[in-house]
Amino acid sequence: MQHIISILLENEAGALSRVAGLFSARAYNIESLTVAPTEDPLVSRMTIVTSGSADVIEQITKQLNKLIEVVKVVDLCEAGHLARELMLIKVKATGAARDEMKRMADIFRGRIVDVTDAIYVIELTGDGAKLDAFIEAIDASLILETVRTGVCGIARGERVLRV
Amino acid sequence: MELTGAEIVVQSLAAEGVEFVFGYPGGSVLHIYDELFKQDKVKHVLVRHEQGAAHAADGYSRASRKVGVCLVTSGPGVTNAVTGIATAYMDSIPMIIITGQVPTHAIGLDAFQEVDTVGITRPCVKHNFLVKDVRDLAVTMKKAFHIATTGRPGPVLVDIPKDVTADRCEFVYPERVEIRTYQPVVRGHSGQIRKALELLLEAKRPMIYTGGGIVLADASNELTRLVHKLGFPCTNTLMGLGGFPGTDPQFVGMLGMHGTYEANMAMQHCDVLLAIGARFDDRVIGDPRDFARFSRRIIHIDVDPSSISKRVRVDVPIVGDVREVLLELTAQLEAHAGAVDKPALDAWWTQINEWRGRDCLRYDRAATIIKPQFVVEKLWEVTGGDAIVTSDVGQHQMWAAQFYKFDKPRRWINSGGLGTMGFGLPSAMGAFMANPEATVACVTGEASIQMCIQELSTCKQYHLPIKIINLNNRYMGMVRQWQEFFHGNRYAESYMDALPDFVRLAEAYGHVGLRIENPSDVEPALREAFARRDQLVFLDFLTDATENVYPMVAGGKGLTDMILAEDL
Ligand SMILES: Cc1cc2nc3c(=O)[nH]c(=O)nc-3n(C[C@H](O)[C@H](O)[C@H](O)COP(=O)(O)OP(=O)(O)OC[C@H]3O[C@@H](n4cnc5c(N)ncnc54)[C@H](O)[C@@H]3O)c2cc1C
Ligand SMILES: Cc1ncc(C[n+]2csc(CCOP(=O)(O)OP(=O)(O)O)c2C)c(N)n1
Ligand SMILES: [Mg+2]
């Protein structure tokens, strides 16, 4: 099953490689990893999407907690949560396809953020499935480039992850 | 007062009460060596290879419960030390490794003797630091000692660029450090301990299984007291030997791949298992699925939550320091109105004694060729069971573990987790330096000893009267045994051809060498060697080349699927 692990860690040089190294050394898989500083510049927030049995996820959280720079670890999937990902996608937009592309972007609540005579760059946020659906929905031959941030997530309601 | 980084390193070591630093110099650590030279609080021990430095620091720690410290130069100094660091890491040994690094402005430029030390060692240390500013040095040293020695212990590395050792700043050694992200649990949860006690009192076929955590926590007295109060059988892992007295009637021997028949049977068939400071290693429980086929309830005490329910699902997890938890468990037991189920326990002991009757460590005592087991038995007798015994890796290691009945902790020093050949001699040096009054023996094999043989020179320089017990079977015996059992007797590259004359080799290094070829000469030779209190004696025993270690649980097999000597 897929899990979204949220990690607060000290914003120190090398902390990221310690986390990444742990995943590769112990053969845990990483589907995506995002990291950036929080409102407190000393602390970064990392979101890792991984999958594995309950036992594996338990080991992952325990092993993460052992890393000295790690402040806190939660598995967001233990309760209600939001997961969002940002995608920028560069597509060909000429002739009839130009209008069609605009319509698809609207349907998916995307925004066109860069325009030339022949090209759109569309910005889209949502959960991973929505972004996948957009890619499925448009003509594959029109896609020039995609870039996705990977998932970042937060718990719903009162649950808060902070130092 | 303003001090240089190098002075800060040495002052910090002195402030931590460090007696010995095991090391080897080189360009990037010259300022540190210069400061070591100018003082006499911290003594430096010059090894002959950085692997030896790490193992010696490790052996020092294992034998003394203090932190082992080693110091090596950048680049090849570090890479040579990595085997020793990984060895300490796998066995949770508190150690500080100080490494020189190229100057900060040269980092990343493929400078002379530059390696990414923090990157290379990251997976085999508890933590590591690169100190880029001399003002961070003292607090980093304090943090390193704190992390190495608390919670689940382990090696911590401090990488210091050469310019940082020359820079100056005000020096104050912190009394203590707070690391907000690192707060190991010490006290166990009382409610969980109560649950554990209830389970223990309900047990019909209880078993106590303990490991290196007992030794690391210095909890063998607490353990022994509890085991005696309960009257339950007790087994130790390879790392736990000596944690419970080896000659105690309640001790059923080591368990695992080369454990005793009775220990493995009791482990498999018990209904309540109390696991203490042991991590259900694959060499201990065999195939985990086979292990899980037998239903038993498991209580697991460990300071590291990630050791719990890692390979085996546990019913009552207790996170905490073994000693603290055992004290509370014993106190709760004493205050408890109930008692153990005596009739059930008697029946269980009857069963265990029947298993014991198999006499699984039996070997041919009438042999005309020296049996390795016999040498270890005699070693035990001649040293009154009270030596510090280090070992290398192979069959000799298993025979030492099976036949030297360790009654006290920190007397058995070996590489269990990484299984590092070459560990025996340098770790014996460290063990002796920690206990200059002790008798120190290194049980080794003709292959292993050659992996750090250069340390014979260190032994000469520092007058370390270690007794080397070389069980010379002319084979990488452990490899040969696997080839015999699992590879159709094809002994690919496991025969040790072109062996040196160990007697003359020992003499060349300035020591005493003895070759022993007949069983009747074993005891006199040992007596002669141990009588030479001030000399290193290299005893080269020509042992049976085809002897195997029994019992044996083949890799991937169930724990009770044992190959016994009598089966063959
Ligand atoms: C050739 C060879 C053959 C081997 N055969 C066997 C064999 O037959 N049987 C066998 O047992 N082993 C064998 N081993 C060793 C095996 O590989 C493991 O190293 C060993 O079994 C691990 O021992 P342990 O479970 O006691 O754990 P250790 O590695 O000693 O770990 C200690 C545990 O205690 C915990 N701990 C540490 N300090 C504390 C504290 N203060 N409080 C609470 N908990 C603490 C740690 O977190 C850890 O979980 C063999 C090794 C070799 C090289
Ligand atoms: C550094 C290292 N290389 C290889 C091995 C694999 N290995 C395990 S035991 C062994 C043979 C050891 O031979 P010896 O020291 O003669 O001991 P014996 O088994 O004969 O008692 C080998 C090669 C190891 N454990 N460590
Ligand atoms: Mg051999």
- Looking at residue A117, what is its pLDDT? 96
| C-alpha to C-alpha distance for B425 and B384, rounded to whole angstroms | 21
Helix (H) or strand (E) holding B186: none
- Looking at residue B328, what is its pLDDT? 98
Cβ pair A69:B119 closer than 8 A: no
| Helices and strands in chain A, H and E counts | 4, 9
- Do residues B354 and B337 make contact, with C-beta atoms less than 8 angstroms apart? no
| C-alpha to C-alpha distance for B253 and B263, rounded to whole angstroms | 6
pLDDT by residue, tens only, chain B of 568 residues: 899 999 999 999 999 999 999 999 999 999 999 999 999 999 999 999 999 999 999 999 999 999 999 999 999 999 999 999 999 999 999 999 999 999 999 999 999 999 999 999 999 999 999 999 999 999 999 999 999 999 999 999 999 999 999 999 999 999 999 999 999 999 999 999 999 999 999 999 999 999 999 999 999 999 999 999 999 999 999 999 999 999 999 999 999 999 999 999 999 999 999 999 999 999 999 999 999 999 999 999 999 999 999 999 999 999 999 999 999 999 999 999 999 999 999 999 999 999 999 999 999 999 999 999 999 999 999 999 999 999 999 999 999 999 999 999 999 999 999 999 999 999 999 999 999 999 999 999 999 999 999 999 999 999 999 999 999 999 999 999 999 999 999 999 999 999 999 999 999 999 999 999 999 999 999 999 999 999 999 999 999 999 999 999 998 899 999 999 976 5
Q: With both helix axes pointing from N to C terminus, report the angle between B220-230 and B322-335 in degrees, rounded to the nearest 10.
A: 30
- Do residues B104 and B134 make contact, with C-beta atoms less than 8 angstroms apart? no
Between the alpha carbon of residue B76 and those of residues B24, B86, B112, the distances in Å are: 11, 16, 11
- The predicted-structure confidence for A43-57, as pLDDT tens digits, reads as follows 999 999 999 999 999
- Looking at residue A18, what is its pLDDT? 97
For residue A72, how many other CB atoms are within 10 A of its CB?
16
For residue B44, how many other CB atoms are within 10 A of its CB?
17
| C-alpha to C-alpha distance for A91 and A145, rounded to whole angstroms | 7
Cβ pair A62:B305 closer than 8 A: yes
| C-alpha to C-alpha distance for A123 and A84, rounded to whole angstroms | 13
> Which one, of B240, B350, B290, B364, lies nearest residue B553 by Cα?
B290
B205 lines ligand 2 (CB under 6 A): no
Beta-carbon contacts of residue B249 (< 8 Å; ≥ 6 apart): none
Three-class secondary structure of residue B538 per DSSP: strand
3-state helix, strand, coil in chain B (%, to 5): 45, 20, 40
**Min Cα–Cα distance to chain A from B109, Å:** 18
Q: What DSSP designation does B453 have?
A: T
> Which one, of B482, B461, B518, lies nearest residue B395 by Cα?
B482
Residues of B in contact with A58 (CB under 8 A): 309
- Looking at residue B568, what is its pLDDT? 57
β-pair partners for B549: none
In whole angstroms, what separates CA B183 from the centre of its chain?
25
**Burial of A52 (C-beta count, 10 Å sphere; 0-12/13-18/19+):** middle
> Which one, of B171, B3, B157, lies nearest residue B71 by Cα?
B157
B448 lines ligand 2 (CB under 6 A): yes
Tokens at B276, concatenated: 């203490």
**Min Cα–Cα distance to chain A from B18, Å:** 24
B145 is catalytic: no
- Do residues B158 and B96 make contact, with C-beta atoms less than 8 angstroms apart? yes
Helix (H) or strand (E) holding B391: strand B388-391
**Min Cα–Cα distance to chain B from A20, Å:** 11
- Looking at residue B200, what is its pLDDT? 98
B372 lines ligand 1 (CB under 6 A): no
Helix (H) or strand (E) holding B263: helix B261-269
> Is B123's Cβ below 8 Å from some Cβ in A?
yes
- The predicted-structure confidence for A112-158, as pLDDT tens digits, reads as follows 999 999 999 999 999 999 999 999 999 999 999 999 999 999 999 99
- Looking at residue B567, what is its pLDDT? 67
Query: Per the confidence metrics, is the pTM higher than 0.90?
Result: yes
| C-alpha to C-alpha distance for B118 and B115, rounded to whole angstroms | 9
3-state helix, strand, coil in chain A (%, to 5): 30, 40, 30
Question: Could you identify the residue written with the tokens 């660091």?
Answer: B85
Helix (H) or strand (E) holding B232: none
| C-alpha to C-alpha distance for B495 and A139, rounded to whole angstroms | 66
| C-alpha to C-alpha distance for A14 and A27, rounded to whole angstroms | 20
Cβ pair A62:B180 closer than 8 A: no
Sign of the C-alpha dihedral computed for residues B33, B37, B42 and B46 taken in this order:
positive
| C-alpha to C-alpha distance for B452 and B470, rounded to whole angstroms | 14
Beta-carbon contacts of residue B459 (< 8 Å; ≥ 6 apart): B425, B429, B466, B509, B511, B536
For residue B436, how many other CB atoms are within 10 A of its CB?
10
| C-alpha to C-alpha distance for B177 and B319, rounded to whole angstroms | 23
Q: Which of B208, B281, B395 to mutate to test the pocket of ligand 1 (most atoms within 8 A of CB)?
A: B281
**C-alpha angle with apex B370: B376 to B528, nearest 5 degrees?**
60
Residues 124-163 of B with CB under 8 A from A: 127, 130, 147
End-to-end CA distance of chain A: 28
Question: Could you identify the residue written with the tokens 């007949």?
Answer: B518
Between the alpha carbon of residue B24 and those of residues B92, B112, B148, B189, B512, the distances in Å are: 24, 18, 22, 45, 26
| C-alpha to C-alpha distance for A114 and B559, rounded to whole angstroms | 65
Beta-carbon contacts of residue B151 (< 8 Å; ≥ 6 apart): B182, B184, B185, B303, B304
Nearest by CB to residue A10, choosing from B122, B181, B310, is B181
Cα dihedral: B560, B562, B565, B568 (round 10): 130
| C-alpha to C-alpha distance for A2 and A4, rounded to whole angstroms | 7
- Do residues A75 and A4 make contact, with C-beta atoms less than 8 angstroms apart? yes
- Do residues B297 and B273 make contact, with C-beta atoms less than 8 angstroms apart? yes
- Do residues B323 and B234 make contact, with C-beta atoms less than 8 angstroms apart? no
- Do residues B46 and B99 make contact, with C-beta atoms less than 8 angstroms apart? no
B447 lines ligand 2 (CB under 6 A): yes
β-pair partners for B72: B99
